[in-house]
Structure 1
Amino acid sequence: MENFLSILRGNPLVSFTILLLVILTLPPIFERLRLPGLVGLLFAGVILGKDGLYLLDADSESIELFADIGKIYLMFVAGLEIDLAEFRKTKGRSLVFGSLTFFLPLLMGTFVGLNFGFGWNSSILIGSLLASHTLLGFPIVQRLGMVKNQAVMVTIGATIFTDIAALLVLAICVSIHSGDFSAASLVMQLVSLGFYAIIILFGFYWLGKEYFRRTGDEESNQFLFVLLAVFLASIGAQLINVDKIIGAFLAGLAVNDVVGDGPVKEKVEFVGGTLFIPFFFVGMGLLLDIPAFLKTIQFQLFLVISIVGGLIAAKFLAATVAKFIYRYTWAESFTMWSLSLPQVAATLAAALVAYQVKDADGQTLINEAVFNSVIVLMLITSILGPVLTAQFATKLPLPKTREDEENRNIESTLDEWLPQLKNEIKNDHFTVLIPIYNPYTQRDLIEMGALLAKKESGIIVPVSIAAAHVHMDDPQVDGNLKQSQILLDRAIEISQEFEVSAQPIIRIDDDAAQGISRSAKEKNANLIIMGWSENTGLKARLFGTILDTVFWSSHCPVAVMRLLDHPVNLRRILVPIKNLSQATLETIKFAQLFADSNQGIITLLHICDRQTPQEQITEFKTTLSKLITEYELSKECKIKMIIHDSPSQVIIRASHQFDLVVLRSFRRRTAGGLAVSDITTEVLKKLSCSLVLFGQPHS
């Protein structure tokens, strides 16, 4: 039996299959238990390691390769997800708070290390492990609409400073431990690191910008370029004797602005979050020596308590000092503290490096007790941080900012936007572009477009994309053109029923999504209407669907529809709204246009968290009332406010009383491959009435 297991452990294909099975099954189970999914991956590593079933060997080349790739990818994504635009807005305060939340934990950790008999080098390294942080609580403040709160933005910006500084300390400590340290070598190390950072941050940025500009829509090649950049940066880091995770993090910062929030970034994060990053956490679990871990808890409990308690106290002190410097409220201070608590990405990666690097005598930079203490630290802070964020972020004052402009209140947003809306409504050139490709949904789409265009005295542009061929004289091209013409002839007949002018076009294109976007731009369309697609397979998640690409590349709003009845019968319209951002106002504008064209009634639904202060609820309702009454957005419009912790359940339940639900297109991801379930996605799966998914360009 042991020989059989040994053969299995030595087979890379078996190891890869086991890892895939673990990644697929365990994280969802732990998330149902209200524990982070990464805890499940660590647990899997322990169970499958030498102290458990021993199906995976931490020392095998394949496992080491998978874990190394995951570690590199984790730090790359950490750099990629830092919002550089927000950092630039608050860089002064971010640097101050970043310094506080770095140096105070660094001093605390160094003090703990010295008191437990570690040398200065190891003690400083222990301090650096406490100094960085991972924004696990970011999805919570995002869901609450508090991202634009200055204290939150400052904390996000501070992540850049703490992560870079912690990795720099790691590089120096590793160099000292390896015996390569001297005053001259330190200067050379810092100089080489400086030149290396400049090459990566500016050189890779320029190369990426040029490559993306020249390749245009070739997303697969752009994806490969990003992968090549991160691994080249990691190799370059090793050439100057710093750890590869420093190169990966700098590469993430370098290509941050290049990839933006587009489809390439989604592909990069999807591959990392689905495959590579989970490999790292499983590998961490494999390295855990359970008897030694329990021994550490039993005989080194005071060390564990000192490291965990020191981290919590130092981060709290940093947030408190920032509160008094910048006169933040206690709610803002506690939120900054809770956001800076979790120690996951940089901490675990650096701890693993320090645990594995050895000097000439074979001694590691940190011993097993410290490494196990860091694991306990990760477990506690990854749970405590998001829990505290959920508690304190709800007490933050309601941001009175637009999503795209700081220090602009809601009323000024309405005052600026609504006159523009009225001018747009009077536009005599209102054009609705409608891609036609499914004869079964064609009538409803044309009918919807005709209703909207007729209301605005505009036109509809049915477009059929005929697939191109290498040889344009191929009979298949002629067949595609004939099929397209049949669809467009039918579209003209339907438009005539509604007395709306139609200007049908046929476009030959290799890429249907780009053909749609380009046709819309050529016709200067005000709106694109498309049918719903249920394609959610692996290929769609990796390379995106036609809908994803149109949402991202279009110059005008896109309305994707799943209609269960003819549009003329859809009169009771539900519009769930999270906040009054520009994107939300545009969604309301679309719903109003359809309601006015079809004698419909709009209900605006706002779901509040149970911990939302009553004054915030009252203020939001007052603003909505002003939106309806003073500006006459709809003659018959209702407001519905519901307090509940699950917005998706409320929307699904409320939809039973309506004919149509209009949802805003919205997607998000988080660092470390920890995907957050989007409310819209959950609603789409269970909604039983007609729906419209409305999105702005580049959404």
Structure 2
Amino acid sequence: MPGLSQYFPITSPTMIFFVVLCIILFAPIVMGKLRIPHIVGMVLAGVVVGPHGLNILAKDSSFDLFGHVGLYYIMFLAGLEMNMANFRKNRVRTFTHGIMAFVIPMAMGFFINRGVLEYSIMTSILLASMYASHTIITYPIVMRYGLARQRSVTIAVGATAITDTLTLLVLAIVGGMFKGEITGIFWLVLFLKIAAVFFVIIYFFPRIARFFFHRYGDNVAQFIFVLAMTFLGAGLMELIGMEGLLGAFLTGLVLNRYVPNLSPLMLHLEFVGNAIFIPYFLIGVGMLVNVRLLFGGLDTIQVACVMILVALTSKWIASFFTQKLFGMRAVERELIYGLSNAQAGATLAAVMVGYNLITPSGQRLLNDDVLNGTVILILVTCIFSSFTTERASKQIALENSAAVPEDEKADDEKIMVPIKHDTSIDTLVGLAVMMRNRVLNRGIVALNVVYDDTNRLQYQERGRRLLAHVTKVANYSGVMVQTQVRIATNITNGIKHAFKEFNASEIIMGMHAGQDSARQFWGEFIPGLFSGLNRQIIIVRCLRPFNTIRRIQVAVPSRAELEPGFYRWLERLTRMAENLECRMQFHAKRETLSLINQYIQSRHPSVQAEYTYMAHWIDMPKLSSGVADDHLFVVVTARKGTISYKSALERLPEELTGNFSGKSLMIIFPDQYGESVDIMTFADPQHHEQRSAYDMLTTWIRKRFS
């Protein structure tokens, strides 16, 4: 209809953005009904609305901009979410698969290009390099299933960086040969440029990030900072003639430990990428596809079929060899294959380089048939990769769900966080989020207790504002929170009663503000809590953001392994270290260290832990010399009357204030099952040290007159 066609393609920026948002909104809904991966819906929508489809949208500069941003964002998130301990553990597998995923497609493609398509040597090499590269556009699928830290994902993502780097080197060499620039100086300059950019990103970026995160805690500022660093890394890589996606990936790797996996910042980064940038990129990929090319001639169809066959087959062979070499499961091979057979970013770069190179005979190095075949290759491999990744991810997710240990399912975990000051909210809630069990996915309880006096209404209103802030911070991390402002004549009793009403399992609370004075170390309420509650209590003072903590040092008293709550606090600390990707160092006796090592190796093998023998608890203050400003020092203490209690623990306030002033501290009172501590102390069933006459007298008076 001529009257309607005059309105297309849409040129209004407002309407263009509206149409894109509609695609992003409805494509997953429609594809979900059809049980087709969402990514396929985005690409197909781009085909339909693009200039070669219904011509509703033109592929203008906004799609070029967001296309680059989306591609870089995928690579950045892949580096950011990678488990670095897992990456180091699987570096041989990653390197091996990366080399095979490059060499096999290169060799197979070269001989088929020469024998079947009858292309020249240079054209065959350049075209084979396109098969060797790949783009992990299906990475959002593994993110959705929570598999970003699986070893198969780590191998595929790391191999992507290797194959794309080698492909881009081939492009640089081919381009240099046509320009007559391949000399000894060419190789030296190329090496120096790459080394310089790698040095800047690896050495300076982490130090800049540590400086920034230590001084600025605002979520928006941190988000903008991370984006700026990502595109600075991509820009530096483009400056030396390499693809920006490598710079984005490398930036994600070096910022990895400063953006914890469960932090609000990570949630914001994933949200923006999955909501805008990545869908924009996928729609732009679809807009490149011209379906009419399928009917444009046999030459284009022949080239496209050969390219698709070589690309899919060679990547499968590389994945198969990786599986067999390292004894991996078939589903892991399928996931590696699904992540590493989609062609997009580097493939487009390669075809455009070859298309713009003119041979001495006046012909293009890569002709129109190759250009058109590449577009069809991109469409087919993206769709095939999406289905493969979706199927493998779903199977692994189901296996992981079925493999949850029974003791985790039976865990009574419910963390309570008493809040008094707004300055401690981010620290306490962040700690609770990192220590909670993600599999159980239970919320936390935030409590504010106010005195029942004449200022009660004023305190209640202040408490509601504090808990509203708690809810906001917890929701940033996707965690549900129950809140209560409680009125009590005694703060300690108010916390204890709320603890029982909510059936909480443990408490995380801030350290008393007067902690630098030994006499005021515990404050007014804490002694009543750890003597009146027999469940785990964690008291923390963190003087720097958690994401800048490099090491957690833990001092453990002798016989701590005999306490009922031994594995509870150990599990919480290892979860924290796993989320922060920081090292742990335990100081204890050998029998205790042996059990800690066994537990970590079986339940959290990715945690890097060191074990240092500490002969006597009196040596604990000497550990202060090895505790740096970016370390968290954890003291596992004990209540009177318990197995691991010793009289030396009575000097804990003096020792901590005298030796660990200005350090980030955490004190843990382990879980005790059964009767309350004061009853246990009176009956003395577990006490292994002689009690003083003063202790016996005060206990008798308390029991006699209470």
Measured in 2, the distance between the counterparts of 1:248 and 1:141 equals 18
SS at match of 2:28: helix
SS at match of 1:463: strand
Could you report, residue by residue, the CA deviation over 1:211-232 in whole angstroms, capped at 9, with x for unpaired residues?
11222x2221111111111222
1:341 is aligned, of 337, 341, 345, to: 337
1:314 paired to 2:292: no
Measured in 2, the distance between the counterparts of 1:142 and 1:67 equals 21
Residue 46 (structure 1) shift? 1.5
| Alignment-mate amino acid for residue 228 of structure 1 | A
Distance 1:83 1:136, change over 3 A: farther
Residue 396 (structure 1) shift? 10
Residue 48 (structure 1) shift? 1.2
RMSD of the alignment, in Å?
Answer: 5.1
Measured in 2, the distance between the counterparts of 1:283 and 1:275 equals 12
Could you report, residue by residue, the CA deviation over 1:3-28 in whole angstroms, capped at 9, with x for unpaired residues?
98468633322212211111111122
Measured in 2, the distance between the counterparts of 1:146 and 1:263 equals 19
Residue 501 (structure 1) shift? 6.7
1:211 paired to 2:183: no
Distance 1:153 1:28, change over 3 A: same
1:483 paired to 2:461: yes
Residue 169 (structure 1) shift? 1.6
**Alignment-derived partner of residue 359 in structure 1:** 356
8 A contact 1:319–1:336 mirrored in 2: no
SS at match of 1:54: coil
**Alignment-derived partner of residue 100 in structure 1:** 100
SS at match of 1:341: helix
**Alignment-derived partner of residue 114 in structure 2:** 114
8 A contact 2:418–2:447 mirrored in 1: yes
SS at match of 1:9: coil
**Alignment-derived partner of residue 34 in structure 1:** 35
Q: How does 1:290-689 map to 2 (within 5 A)?
A: 290-295=291-296, 300-326=300-326, 328=327, 332-342=328-338, 347-357=343-353, 358-359=355-356, 361=358, 363=364, 367-387=371-391, 433-434=417-418, 462-463=447-448, 481=459, 483-484=461-462, 491-492=487-488, 518=510
8 A contact 1:431–1:527 mirrored in 2: no
Residue 274 (structure 1) shift? 0.5
Could you report, residue by residue, the CA deviation over 1:410-462 in whole angstroms, capped at 9, with x for unpaired residues?
79x99xxx9xx9xx99xxxx99544599xxxxxxxxxxxxxxxxxxxxxx995
8 A contact 1:135–1:156 mirrored in 2: no
8 A contact 1:433–1:527 mirrored in 2: no
1:167 paired to 2:152: no
Residue 67 (structure 1) shift? 2.2
| Alignment-mate amino acid for residue 94 of structure 2 | S
Measured in 2, the distance between the counterparts of 1:338 and 1:387 equals 9
Could you report, residue by residue, the CA deviation over 1:469-522 in whole angstroms, capped at 9, with x for unpaired residues?
xxxxxxxx998546348999952179999995789xxxxxxxxxxxx9647999
Distance 1:435 1:49, change over 3 A: same
Measured in 1, the distance between the counterparts of 2:343 and 2:302 equals 20
**Alignment-derived partner of residue 189 in structure 1:** 190
8 A contact 1:49–1:286 mirrored in 2: yes
8 A contact 1:122–1:173 mirrored in 2: no
Could you tell me the TM-score, scaled by structure 1's length? Answer: 0.55
**Alignment-derived partner of residue 134 in structure 1:** 136
Measured in 1, the distance between the counterparts of 2:171 and 2:26 equals 38
Measured in 2, the distance between the counterparts of 1:335 and 1:135 equals 19
| Alignment-mate amino acid for residue 18 of structure 1 | V
8 A contact 1:167–1:350 mirrored in 2: no
Measured in 1, the distance between the counterparts of 2:341 and 2:324 equals 29
Measured in 2, the distance between the counterparts of 1:464 and 1:397 equals 38
8 A contact 2:78–2:157 mirrored in 1: no
Residue 356 (structure 1) shift? 3.8
Deviates more, 1:76-85 or 1:168-177: 168-177
**Alignment-derived partner of residue 77 in structure 1:** 77
| Alignment-mate amino acid for residue 387 of structure 1 | R
8 A contact 1:74–1:345 mirrored in 2: no
Measured in 1, the distance between the counterparts of 2:53 and 2:190 equals 42
Measured in 1, the distance between the counterparts of 2:94 and 2:381 equals 25
Measured in 2, the distance between the counterparts of 1:228 and 1:386 equals 32
**Alignment-derived partner of residue 599 in structure 1:** none
Percent identity, please.
22
Measured in 1, the distance between the counterparts of 2:308 and 2:485 equals 71
| Alignment-mate amino acid for residue 483 of structure 1 | E
8 A contact 1:63–1:283 mirrored in 2: yes
Could you report, residue by residue, the CA deviation over 1:232-259 in whole angstroms, capped at 9, with x for unpaired residues?
2222222212232232222222222221
Measured in 1, the distance between the counterparts of 2:41 and 2:494 equals 58
**Alignment-derived partner of residue 88 in structure 2:** 88
Residue 291 (structure 1) shift? 0.7
| Alignment-mate amino acid for residue 344 of structure 2 | L
8 A contact 1:343–1:377 mirrored in 2: no
Distance 1:520 1:102, change over 3 A: farther
Could you report, residue by residue, the CA deviation over 1:518-549 in whole angstroms, capped at 9, with x for unpaired residues?
479997787799xxxxxxxxxxxxxxxxxxx9
8 A contact 1:80–1:255 mirrored in 2: yes
8 A contact 2:101–2:159 mirrored in 1: no
Measured in 2, the distance between the counterparts of 1:585 and 1:199 equals 32
SS at match of 2:356: coil
Measured in 1, the distance between the counterparts of 2:218 and 2:393 equals 40
**Alignment-derived partner of residue 592 in structure 2:** none
Q: How does 1:137-286 map to 2 (within 5 A)?
A: 153=151, 156-173=154-171, 176-177=174-175, 179-180=178-179, 181-183=181-183, 184-215=185-216, 217-261=217-261, 262-286=263-287
Could you report, residue by residue, the CA deviation over 1:597-642 in whole angstroms, capped at 9, with x for unpaired residues?
xxxxxxxxxxxxxxxxxxxxxxxxxxxxxxxxxxxxxxxxxxxxxx
From the CA coordinates, give the structure whose radius of gyration is larger. 2
Measured in 1, the distance between the counterparts of 2:15 and 2:28 equals 20
Could you report, residue by residue, the CA deviation over 1:307-344 in whole angstroms, capped at 9, with x for unpaired residues?
34434443443344345544x2xxx3422321122257
8 A contact 2:152–2:335 mirrored in 1: no
8 A contact 2:342–2:385 mirrored in 1: no
SS at match of 1:491: strand
| Unmatched runs of 5 consecutive residues or more in structure 1 | 403-409, 438-459, 467-476, 504-515, 530-548, 554-580, 587-699
8 A contact 1:200–1:251 mirrored in 2: yes
| Unmatched runs of 5 consecutive residues or more in structure 2 | 422-444, 466-483, 500-507, 516-524, 530-534, 539-544, 550-569, 576-706
| Alignment-mate amino acid for residue 245 of structure 1 | L
SS at match of 1:57: coil
Distance 1:10 1:384, change over 3 A: same
8 A contact 1:76–1:249 mirrored in 2: yes
8 A contact 1:44–1:285 mirrored in 2: yes
Measured in 2, the distance between the counterparts of 1:37 and 1:385 equals 12
Residue 275 (structure 1) shift? 0.4
8 A contact 1:134–1:346 mirrored in 2: yes
Measured in 2, the distance between the counterparts of 1:519 and 1:500 equals 17
Measured in 1, the distance between the counterparts of 2:249 and 2:235 equals 13
Measured in 2, the distance between the counterparts of 1:164 and 1:283 equals 25
Measured in 2, the distance between the counterparts of 1:463 and 1:397 equals 36
Deviates more, 1:240-249 or 1:482-491: 482-491
Measured in 2, the distance between the counterparts of 1:112 and 1:340 equals 24
Residue 192 (structure 1) shift? 0.7
